[in-house]
Structure 1
């Protein structure tokens, strides 16, 4: 299924961007951050669940992605609620992420159409996303080790990833003849 035909694509991305902004707010100890994170996790779970139910043909990778979202969002919701026994959900998230990465991995970000190559701009933006994720991981490790500049590194990584998501939300997709009717959204 092409990225442009996925149901609830922009609302899910907006919820993820809001989640990342809530995480930045929590790192900076701003008020209402936990509420924003909680609502974002709940929105992601509900929207992705509706998207999954709307799919006519459910492949194994679709089931794995749904399980990944379920484990990840449930862990996030329970962590915000200070539930202490979230290890099961963390392990479930790890295993489903590994399974998803093994089955789909980085090809998720590349063009799925035969014979169509990604533009230089898309490749650069995907590279920026990878840099953002690496910066996030480094910032998280630096925070765990209580190193200097951990919070600026985390904030930079979150800003890069959030800008990537917002760019996808607000850029107009290329209209192909197949996309005009939005068959998945109206069937």
Structure 2
């Protein structure tokens, strides 16, 4: 299935964006953050499972991605419910992520021909995403070390990543050269 034609792509991205917003709310100790995180994890699990079962041809990498989502979301749901024995799901998430990265990894972001067909705008947005992820990592490390400005750094990183996801949801898909506008009507 081509990246632009994946089932439930935008609802899954919206659930991930709401998960990130819930995490920012939890860091800032705002009310209802646990509920938003719980609903987001549940929505990601349900939507991805529907997407998986809708797929006609399932490859081994698809099974690994489904297992990754299952372990990750189950761990998140049980953590929100203060379940103490989530180590199994954390280990499952780690192993399935390593397996996915070994099988698909960075090739997931490349075109089928192997060339990068990104415009300058896409390259800048991808750079912004990398900066957001690095800011998240730095903020998390700063928070672990009890340094000042860890919460604003985490919030900035989550805001950047969330804005990247929301921009991706709400932008119109690019037309390919192969797209022909209503040609069959004029034949």
Whether these two folds match at TM > 0.5 is: yes
Instruction: Report the CA distance shift for 1:60/1:26 in structure 2 as closer, same or farther (over 3 A).
Output: same
Alpha-carbon separation, structure 1, partners of 2:70 and 2:24: 23
Write the mapping of 1:133-152 to structure 2, written as runs, cut at 5 A: 133-152=133-152
Give the equivalent residue in structure 1 for 2:184.
none
**Unmatched segments (≥5 aa) in structure 1:** 181-187
Give the equivalent residue in structure 2 for 1:156.
156
DSSP-derived class of the 2:148 partner: coil
Higher relative contact order (CA 8 A, sep 6+): 1
Write the mapping of 1:119-138 to structure 2, written as runs, cut at 5 A: 119-138=119-138
Give the equivalent residue in structure 1 for 2:103.
103
Alpha-carbon separation, structure 2, partners of 1:44 and 1:34: 15
**What do you get for the CA RMSD once the two structures are aligned?**
1.8
Alpha-carbon separation, structure 1, partners of 2:149 and 2:114: 44
Alpha-carbon separation, structure 2, partners of 1:170 and 1:90: 32
DSSP-derived class of the 1:85 partner: coil
Instruction: Report the CA distance shift for 1:9/1:179 in structure 2 as closer, same or farther (over 3 A).
Output: farther
**Unmatched segments (≥5 aa) in structure 2:** 182-187
Alpha-carbon separation, structure 2, partners of 1:127 and 1:28: 26
Instruction: Report the CA distance shift for 1:114/1:105 in structure 2 as closer, same or farther (over 3 A).
Output: closer
Deviation at 1:151, TM superposition (A): 0.5
Alpha-carbon separation, structure 2, partners of 1:102 and 1:119: 27
Report if the CA contact (8 A) 2:143-2:151 is conserved: yes
